A and B are shown apart, each in its own frame.
Chain A
């Protein structure tokens, strides 16, 4: 499933044109991206939470050469599914 499928669903279920549906779906993801870019988390009840976490600098190895390298600190994005979504995926609803 891609963004195009979401646009199609919005188009079929609302009165919006394809162009409007596309712009609106795009905006939903733009809003989520700018929120996460600011380091703020997103909590979507029934679906799950998207949280930006900071990873400290650590030592690693190049798996091909074995050479030790420093892995710089970075931000990562984690998704924690809601209990509702987990149960539904496991056929427990």
Chain B
């Protein structure tokens, strides 16, 4: 499922126009992105949580050439699945 399919499904379930459903999906995703960009934490009960983790610099290797490369410190969002969704994807 991609974003436009999610918008279509939302529009159908809630009797909204595509444009209105798109506006809502964009508000949700933009708000989540902005939270992560400002270093905040997202917690959606039943779905999961997202936090930004700090990664230290390290020396890596180009797996093709074996050449050493310095990997700079970086931040990455980390997702932890919520209890309900974890059980559902395992059909518990």
Contact = CB atoms under 8 A, between A and B. Distances in A.
B45 A2 contact: yes
Contact size range, A: 35 or more
B44 to A, nearest CB: 5
A24 B10 contact: yes
Contacts of A86: 74, 76-77
Contacts of A5: 31
A35 B89 CA distance: 10
Interface string A50-92: 1010000000000000000000001111110100011011100
Contacts, number: 126
Of listed B2, B14, B37, B44, residue having the most chain A CB within 10 A: B44
B1 A9 contact: no
B10 A28 contact: yes
A13 interface: yes
A88 B38 CA distance: 10
Interface string A14-31: 100000000111011101
A25 B28 contact: yes
Interface of A: 1-3, 5-6, 9-10, 13-14, 23-25, 27-29, 31-33, 35-37, 39-48, 50, 52, 74-79, 81, 85-86, 88-90
Contacts of B91: 37
Given A28-B28, A77-B89, A33 B46 contact: yes
B14 A23 contact: yes
Most-contacted residue by chain A among B16, B75, B89 (CB, 10 A): B89
Interface in B10-43: 10, 13-14, 16, 20, 23-25, 27-29, 31-33, 35-37, 40-43
Q: Output the residue of B9, B24, B25, B85 with the most chain A CB within 10 A.
A: B24
